[in-house]
Amino acid sequence: MSHEPTAGASDSAPLRLPRGPGMGLPLGFVILALAFGAASVAGALVGPGPTPDGPRLAASYLVGLMFVTTISVGSLAWVLFHHLTGAVWSVVLRRLMENLTRPIPLVAALFVPVALSLGRIYAWADPSRVAADHALARKAVWLNPTFFNIRIAIYFAAWALIAGLLSRASARQDHTGDPSEGRWMRAMSPLGLLVLGHTASLAGFDWLMSIDPHWTSTIFGVYFWAGSILGALAMLTLLTIGSCSAGWLGEAVSVEHLHDLGKLLFGFVIFWTYIAFCQYFLIWYANFPEETRWYAIRRAGAWNAISWALVLGHFAVPFLLLLFRATKRSPFWLAFAAGWILVFHYIDLYWIIMPGVHRDAIGPSWLDISILMTLVSACGAVVAQAGRVQPLMPIGDPRLAESIAFHNP
């Protein structure tokens, strides 16, 4: 990876994935998705016990689905941030951000199994439990299967619309080089970010917080939002470093761009920690039993070990890694930090979802990994295909040469 960027995109990088990877990557991801999917189905059917553990299997699927959903939604937030701020340094990375939003329609389709099996995870989806619980009955206006599935459709329709409009404008600019396309994308970003922020927060309430419908936290939507943004940034960092290492971006991305990615990772690790601590501190200080019970479950038994692992792994380790300038400018250490953050992003989602299904701590299952790899591989195929059919950089953006020449002061 060069420290001296070249003068233009056309000389510094191939416009699309080379012929071999261009065909092989999407197909390879599809094969992986099919293989891991078959292993997941087989494991569910022949697992221990006379019948599969429906709630556990559904929860494992929801954890994996939340992982790929948060990456896609968080990536859309980064596209909007880029346009809203008018940032120049990230122009060269904009297409990679856009490609990470491409799985949104696929992720919407992957929600169908969740919509068909709500009662395995959500107490409010069981009519008998709602009838016997006054608190659930009061919330039934919002928490009922029909309205829940309608909201899922609304969320994904809004996200797909925003991502699609931005991607089409970006593609048009590749062909025309018209600066007005950039101005249009920037003009729609405030409204897009407002819609995305509200819908993503509501999605966090619906998909995760309502697993325990008796527990509420007004800051939980921001917690979900912060984790999505951090996870997406970590994935963007890995995708950038991987593309550079493979030579697909040539010399267009320099250590200066990595340095800025590292600074953003460092800042959003702190932001996620701040939101997580605020939620915990306010509930601890108020000490209302109906609020503290959610944390009491996660502070008991083996779940407590995962709670402390999140403190160390989701905050302390990446904080110390990214604290130093040399780490942020090293492709190896920056990739290590980004991969580490993604691992603990998954663990965070696991810690949120699984105790709501199994109060007593359960050991990890290989089904957790096989389901996750199935979903990640399926989304990876979509991202790889996007890199095959479109340039890997926004070649029509008039600020691309300036972005390539970016240098930290």
pLDDT (average), residues 29-57: 78
Chain Cα centroid distance, residue 283: 26
| Inter-residue contact 10 to 396 (CB < 8 Å) | no
pLDDT tens by residue, 213-240: 999 999 999 999 999 999 999 999 999 9
pLDDT of residue 360: 66
The one-character DSSP state at 219 is T
Instruction: State the Cα–Cα distance between residues 233 and 227, nearest whole angstrom.
Output: 10
359 pLDDT band, cuts 50/70/90, is: low
pLDDT in the model for residue 55 = 76
Asked whether residue 51 carries a pLDDT value surpassing 70, the answer given is no
d(CA 6, CA 267): 29
Question: Which band of pLDDT confidence, cut at 50, 70 and 90, is reported for residue 19?
Answer: low
Q: Where are the domains of the chain?
A: 9-404
For the stretch 107-153, pLDDT in tens is: 999 999 999 989 889 999 999 999 999 999 999 999 999 999 999 99
State the average pLDDT for the chain. 90
pTM of the entire structure?
Answer: 0.93
CB 173 within 8 A of CB 95: no
DSSP 92-118: GGHHHHHHHHTTHHHHHHHTHHHHHTG
Cα 400 from Cα 9, distance rounded (Å): 7
